[in-house]
Amino acid sequence: MPQKKILMICLGNICRSPIAETVMAETLAKAKLDSVVVDSAATGSWHVGNRADPRALSTLQKHGLESKHIVRQITKQDFYEFDYIFGMDEDNMSDLRRLAPKDCKAELLMLGDFGLSKEKRIIEDPYYQRGDEGFEVAYQQCVTACEAFVKQRLLQ
Ligand code: 4NP
């Protein structure tokens, strides 16, 4: 398969998209799709240069995973460089559609449209929720969606 590039996007790039990036990397490794590259970025600039939220890191650690990602903001170049750009919710999707150049190469997709029911397809922002529970919910949604995407789109 030719090399493909996947970019996970959320508002801050400290909660959902670093989880999605790490889960997708693990899903690709399990499927032996070593040539697929995955990264993540923010639509907003507040946390650029920071590591993921400690609650995202502890949720990943609970599942034996680690993220060393440093927050960056999405650039125009990303729309040409990546094959798939995933948003987590409808706000991410409308930001992506607004930012995308007319000759955008990437397909803009919502992650939860793969493998999740209509009620669960939005990966909600857990940042303002107390505790870790919202992070675990986002993690589980990412696991289901990444597996479904890989099966449907990369392993035919
Ligand atoms: P994320 O969550 O988009 O899942 O990384 C957020 C993190 C920080 C902020 C908003 C959402 N913030 O406004 O700082």
Q: Does the pLDDT at position 1 exceed 90? A: no
- Our count of domains for the chain comes to 1
Domain coverage including residue 48: 5-154
Query: How does pLDDT run across 4-57, given as a tens digit for each residue?
Result: 999 999 999 999 999 999 999 999 999 999 999 999 999 999 999 999 999 999
Give the pLDDT band of residue 131 (cuts 50, 70, 90): confident
11 lines ligand 1 (CB under 6 A): yes
Catalytic residues: 10, 16, 125
Confidence of residue 2 (pLDDT cuts 50, 70, 90): low
CATH classification at residue 150: 3.40.50.2300
Q: Is 125's C-beta closer than 6 angstroms to any atom of ligand 1?
A: yes
**Binding site membership of 20 for ligand 1 (Cβ less than 6 Å):** no
Ligand 1 atom showing the smallest separation from residue 10 Cα: 3
DSSP one-letter string for the chain: ----EEEEEESSSSSHHHHHHHHHHHHHHHTT-TT-EEEEEESS-TTTTPPPPHHHHHHHHHTT--------B--HHHHHH-SEEEESSHHHHHHHHHHS-TT--SEEEEGGGTT--GGG-S----TTSSSSHHHHHHHHHHHHHHHHHIIIII--
Question: Mean pLDDT for the chain?
Answer: 97
Going by alpha carbons, the residue nearest to atom 9 of ligand 1 is 12
